[in-house]
């Protein structure tokens, strides 16, 4: 997000994953080892000579949980926007907050899988807050609960070029 300001993003102050994908489409991206996430606003340090990939086409996932499940199983991880208003209190287990918007999305994360535990279906989601948060940097978000927290409201994935 440091480098995609001209694409409408503003680092930690907000932006859209599709805008970041467009930046990577046009410029490429460095590996996490070469350009680690710092969790704070910074100046762009992108090194075109160390670009590891580019993005091809960007696809939107249909706004239903079955479609998201199918894409994760057949393609792989999917970038999603969620309402993370109560996520900072997550300590483990299947996250099912009493109040969570499917419209007011305020955080981008990565849906990487799905499963069931103790009779509850969940999405396995990688957060950007580091391995000391949640379950080693991941959250299990309730699945099959009417798009709880907006899990499928803004779901996209790119082809890697």
Quote the pTM value.
Answer: 0.88
Band of pLDDT at residue 103, cut at 50, 70 and 90: very high
CB 28 within 8 A of CB 113: no
- Give the pLDDT of residue 38: 78
| Cβ neighbourhood burial of 91 (10 Å; 0-12, 13-18, 19+) | exposed
- Higher model confidence: residue 157 or residue 89? 157
Give the E-state strand segments of the chain in sequence order: 29-30, 51-53, 55-60, 78-82, 94-95, 107-117, 120-126, 138-142, 155-160
Lowest mean pLDDT, pick from 37-46, 69-78, 80-89, 142-151: 37-46
Give the tokens for residue 115.
Answer: 């499963």
The domains of the chain, with CATH numbers, are 5-53 (no CATH), 59-160 (3.90.70.10)
3-state SS class at 87: helix
């Amino acid at each position: 997000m440091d480098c995609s300001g001209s694409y409408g993003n503003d680092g930690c102050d907000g932006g859209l994953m599709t805008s970041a994908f467009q930046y990577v489409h046009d410029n490429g991206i460095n590996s996490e080892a070469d350009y680690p996430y710092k969790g704070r606003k910074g100046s762009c340090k992108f090194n075109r000579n160390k670009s590891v990939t580019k993005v091809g086409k960007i696809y939107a996932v249909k706004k239903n949980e079955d479609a998201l499940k199918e894409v994760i199983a057949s393609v792989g991880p999917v970038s999603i926007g969620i309402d993370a208003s109560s996520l900072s209190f997550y300590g483990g287990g299947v996250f099912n907050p009493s109040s969570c918007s499917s419209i007011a999305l305020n955080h981008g994360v990565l849906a990487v899988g799905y499963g069931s535990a103790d009779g509850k279906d969940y999405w396995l989601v990688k957060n950007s807050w580091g391995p000391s948060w949640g379950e080693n940097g991941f959250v299990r978000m309730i699945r099959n609960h009417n798009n709880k927290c907006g899990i499928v409201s803004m779901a996209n994935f790119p082809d890697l070029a």
